[in-house]
Amino acid sequence: MTPQDSYRLFEQLAIAIPKPTTELVYSSHFELLIAVVLSAQATDKSVNKATKLLFEVANTPQKILALGEDALKGYIKTIGLFNTKAANIIKLCRQLLEKHDGNVPHLRSELESLPGVGRKTANVILNTAFGQPTIAVDTHIFRVANRIGLASANTVLGVEKALMGIIPEKFMLDAHHLLILHGRYICVARKPLCHTCVISGYCEFFQLTAH
């Protein structure tokens, strides 16, 4: 894909999705961090359902530690891998208090040192909470980027690097959520909705299947 096509592609996505943002519900950087940790291999909808009740009683590192691991599991038991996630969240909260005065750090190295936080989670926090131009490659972005021709890579890091190299600077901050939302609702895994897609004219998959 040429830089010109990439620019026009993101220009059309930005028009179609005027307010690209996460669908996770949160009211602080800490709540966002917990929600993103919980969202691994889970839907935003299931996370929001659990955190709505959890955050009413515990929405700070201190309160979650006071709640305890067993009680925390009760709130997140509907989410996949909840045992591991509960253990990581307890350790994460303890580390935030011990090393960061209870605040969510804004450096990648410090974020990735937190239990349960990998590169993808760190990228989400850097982008959504701190306004940094990062790309967190989830299953939607991985699929969409390879399908439409923005990337040609078989690893998450490969797709991230390819996207960072081709996304126009103007759209870099919003690209993460533009691609996720496009993948979630239009460029779905099975039977993508090409007939309603605003970027089909720039899509390699559509060009191949339309002829």
Enumerate domains of the chain plus CATH numbers: 3-20+135-209 (1.10.1670.10), 29-128 (1.10.340.30)
Residue 178 confidence class, pLDDT cut points 50, 70, 90: very high
pLDDT above 90 coverage of the chain, percent: 92
- Checking if the pLDDT of 211 tops 60, the result is no
Residue 181 confidence class, pLDDT cut points 50, 70, 90: very high
Give residue 150's pLDDT: 94
| Predicted model pTM | 0.89
- Checking if the pLDDT of 24 tops 70, the result is yes
Residue 207 confidence class, pLDDT cut points 50, 70, 90: confident
Residue 175, number of CB atoms within 10 A of its CB: 26
- Checking if the pLDDT of 111 tops 90, the result is yes
Give residue 88's pLDDT: 96
Arithmetic mean of pLDDT, 22-48: 94
Residue in the structure block whose two tokens are 């890579």: 153
Arithmetic mean of pLDDT, 65-86: 94
Beta strands in 51-146 (DSSP E): none
- Checking if the pLDDT of 210 tops 80, the result is no
Closest listed residue to residue 133, CA positions, set 101, 86, 165: 165
Q: Are 77 and 38 in contact (CB under 8 A)?
A: no
| Mean pLDDT, the chain, whole residue set | 94
Residue in the structure block whose two tokens are 């969409």: 144
Give the containing element (helix H, strand E) for 160: helix 156-166
- Checking if the pLDDT of 2 tops 90, the result is no
Angle, CA of 74, 136 and 2, to the nearest 5°? 155
Give residue 209's pLDDT: 80
Active site residues: 120, 138
Q: Are 150 and 176 in contact (CB under 8 A)?
A: no
